[in-house]
């Protein structure tokens, strides 16, 4: 799709909407010879979009730049929906955290009816997604009030048994990796430096999340050592929540689970992604469906009463019957929460064409099967986010039974809490009081560089934290 812009240069906003309808590598911005034109007439404060003789326009009441950008997205979306016949359920909400709009609206004193009208008329969101947004926002709300002088803490372990074919997170094979020992030495230094700094200034840890990678890819001695550092600095009994992303069942055994339990972990994730063996083999998960079941029951036996399981909609080759099989097996296990992810990969529009050619609604139907199943056992949606490059205009939603929500997930997605993040590629987010202004400081992504430059990263983080302590 060749696109021309007149009177503005809001390429990013135009690209966001155009890429919902066309493969990303086919979108080109041209000075001439274009098919799709988006004009902003500043004198008349009006946006017009045209394609194949079809026009759509929008008259603004404000010259606020954010409003102009939204008007461009609104006008273009309406035009392309009319041209293609494809409706985008999220309208012009292409951001990662759509519930923030709802929370902000409630803070401004708007009622539910007002918010529904805004989402429908201003953002072109479908009724189904409006219902989801409001339900999630209401379920998140009780967890957004942060204890005074407290932060959330994230510790990253960037190692996995093997790398999954779809993975975009920082992960390195654990087996035979000679960087593990040095990484843990550097991580220990960061943990002690940063947490002691916080303690000296009266800042407490509210929730703690150990993610990755797969933290349980560490051996038993390394795991126990890691948690001994944490317990040396933090009274884990006072944490509202202590989660470890166990993730891969092939990284677990009885001894590791006992180590987690004895070190005060209150919540774990065991993530099958799918309960279809042929898919697991295809995506590089070196475990069986039986491994998932065995490790789940073993975790219950050890004493874990808050277990999450992740699944992914849109894995290569999967159709409705595969999702039905996955959900049937998970509902027999009855975990405390199930997080439903939608596949997100680079060049997702091309993947979408390859996977769902001739059946553009397949991902949505599979997603509906999963959500209908979790709702049927009484789970409710408690947090959600969207990603770029999804294979369908869907979302990732965490469902849980009441009282089994992941508080850290809510804090992180809502950006209501300062999150101190330690480890390679970990991103600290400082939330400044009533203004809600957010500043980020990222650790180095490369494990070797993280190790070599650990002192520099600690200094940068502490320098930033001085402003809030």
Q: How far apart are CA 430 and CA 415, in angstroms?
A: 9
Q: How far apart are CA 205 and CA 208, in angstroms?
A: 7
Q: In what helix (H) or strand (E) does residue 59 lie, and over which residues does it extend? A: strand 54-59
Answer whether residue 464 is part of any domain: yes
Q: Is 391 exposed, middle or buried (0-12, 13-18, 19+ CB in 10 A)?
A: buried
Q: Which of 346, 368, 403 is the last residue before a domain boundary? A: 403
Q: What is the pLDDT of residue 167?
A: 53
Q: What is the pLDDT of residue 286?
A: 83
Longest dimension (CA), the chain: 71
Q: Supply 194's token pair.
A: 């940063």
Phi and psi at residue 326, to the nearest 5°: -60, -50
Answer whether residue 59 is part of any domain: yes
Tokens 């890429």, residue located:
19
Answer whether residue 362 is part of any domain: yes
- Could you give the C-alpha distances from 239 to 133, 196, 205, in angstroms and in order? 28, 17, 7
Whether 388 and 286 map to the same domain: the answer is yes
Helix intervals (H) in 54-151: 65-84, 99-107, 112-121, 127-140
Q: Answer whether 233's CB lies under 8 Å from 245's CB.
A: no
Report which of 71, 133, 125 is spatially closest to residue 99, judged by C-alpha positions.
133
Domain of 393, CATH number, reads: 3.30.750
Whether 16 and 28 map to the same domain: the answer is yes
Answer whether residue 383 is part of any domain: yes
pTM strictly above 0.75? yes
Answer whether residue 111 is part of any domain: yes
Whether 434 and 398 map to the same domain: the answer is no
Whether 284 and 387 map to the same domain: the answer is yes
Answer whether residue 90 is part of any domain: no
Report which of 128, 127, 125, 106 is spatially closest to residue 115, judged by C-alpha positions.
106
Report which of 276, 216, 282 is spatially closest to residue 249, judged by C-alpha positions.
216
Q: How far apart are CA 267 and CA 307, in angstroms?
A: 6
Whether 14 and 125 map to the same domain: the answer is no
Tokens 């997080």, residue located:
339
Domain that holds residue 164: 144-253+261-266+407-469
Calculate Rg over the CA atoms of the chain.
23
Q: How far apart are CA 141 and CA 159, in angstroms?
A: 34
Q: Supply 421's token pair.
A: 């993040």
Whether 7 and 69 map to the same domain: the answer is yes
Whether 422 and 399 map to the same domain: the answer is no
Q: How far apart are CA 466 and CA 453, in angstroms?
A: 21
Whether 386 and 428 map to the same domain: the answer is no
Successive 10-residue mean pLDDT values, the chain, 469 residues: 97 95 93 96 98 96 96 98 94 92 95 98 97 97 91 95 56 67 97 97 97 93 97 97 94 97 97 95 89 98 98 94 98 98 60 50 93 98 85 87 98 94 96 84 96 97 84
Instruction: For 1-26, give the DSSP string.
Output: -EEEEES---HHHHHHHHTTTS-GGG
Answer whether residue 282 is part of any domain: yes
Q: Answer whether 333's CB lies under 8 Å from 294's CB.
A: no
Answer whether residue 320 is part of any domain: yes
Q: Is 300 exposed, middle or buried (0-12, 13-18, 19+ CB in 10 A)?
A: middle
Q: Give how many domains the chain has, as a whole number.
A: 4
Whether 354 and 391 map to the same domain: the answer is yes
> With the C-alpha atoms ordered 294, 296, 299, 301, is the resulting torsion angle positive or negative?
negative
Pairing of β 337-342 and β 396-400: antiparallel
Report which of 140, 267, 159 is spatially closest to residue 219, judged by C-alpha positions.
159
Whether 427 and 354 map to the same domain: the answer is no
Helix intervals (H) in 263-399: 277-282, 289-302, 320-333, 348-356, 362-376
Whether 104 and 198 map to the same domain: the answer is no
Whether 61 and 134 map to the same domain: the answer is no
């Amino acid at each position: 799709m060749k696109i021309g812009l007149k009177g503005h240069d809001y390429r990013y906003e135009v690209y966001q909407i155009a890429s919902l309808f066309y493969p990303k590598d086919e979108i080109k911005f041209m000075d001439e010879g274009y098919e799709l034109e988006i004009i902003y007439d500043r004198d008349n404060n009006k946006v017009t979009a045209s394609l194949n003789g079809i026009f759509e326009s929008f008259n603004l009441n404000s010259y606020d730049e954010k409003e102009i950008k939204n008007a461009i997205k609104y006008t273009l979306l309406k035009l392309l929906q009319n041209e293609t016949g494809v409706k985008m359920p999220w309208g012009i909400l292409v951001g990662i955290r759509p519930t923030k709009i709802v929370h902000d609206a409630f803070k401004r004193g708007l009622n539910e009816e007002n918010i529904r009208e805004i989402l429908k008329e201003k953002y072109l969101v479908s009724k189904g997604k409006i219902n989801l947004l409001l339900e999630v926002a209401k379920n998140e709300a009780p967890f957004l009030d942060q204890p005074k002088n407290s932060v959330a803490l994230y510790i990253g372990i960037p190692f996995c048994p093997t790398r999954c074919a779809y993975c975009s997170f920082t992960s390195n094979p654990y087996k035979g990796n000679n960087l593990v020992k040095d990484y843990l030495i550097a991580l220990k230094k960061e943990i002690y430096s940063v947490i002691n700094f916080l303690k000296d200034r009266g800042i407490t840890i509210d929730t703690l999340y150990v993610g990755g990678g797969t933290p349980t890819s560490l051996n038993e001695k390394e795991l126990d050592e890691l948690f001994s550092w944490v317990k040396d600095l933090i009274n884990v009994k006072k944490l509202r929540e202590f989660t470890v992303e166990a993730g891969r069942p092939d990284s677990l055994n009885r001894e590791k689970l006992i180590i987690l339990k004895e070190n005060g972990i209150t919540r774990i994730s065991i993530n099958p992604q799918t309960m279809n063996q042929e898919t697991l083999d295809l995506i590089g998960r070196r475990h069986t469906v039986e491994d998932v079941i065995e490790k789940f029951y073993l975790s219950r036996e050890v004493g874990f009463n808050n277990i999450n399981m992740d699944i992914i909609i849109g894995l290569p080759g999967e159709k409705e019957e595969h999702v039905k099989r996955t959900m049937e097996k998970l509902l027999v296990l009855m975990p405390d929460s199930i997080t439903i992810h939608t596949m997100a990969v680079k060049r997702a529009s091309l993947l979408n064409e390859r996977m769902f050619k001739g059946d553009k609604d397949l991902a949505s139907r599979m997603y509906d099967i999963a959500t209908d199943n979790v709702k049927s056992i009484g789970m409710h949606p408690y947090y959600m986010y969207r990603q770029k490059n999804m294979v369908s205009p869907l979302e990732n939603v965490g469902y849980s039974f009441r009282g089994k929500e992941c508080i850290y997930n809510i804090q992180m997605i809502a950006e209501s809490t300062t999150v101190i993040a330690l480890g390679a590629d970990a991103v600290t987010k400082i939330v400044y009081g009533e203004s809600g202004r957010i500043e980020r400081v990222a650790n180095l992504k490369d494990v070797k560089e993280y190790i070599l430059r650990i002192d520099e990263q600690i200094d940068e983080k502490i320098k930033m934290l001085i402003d809030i302590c």
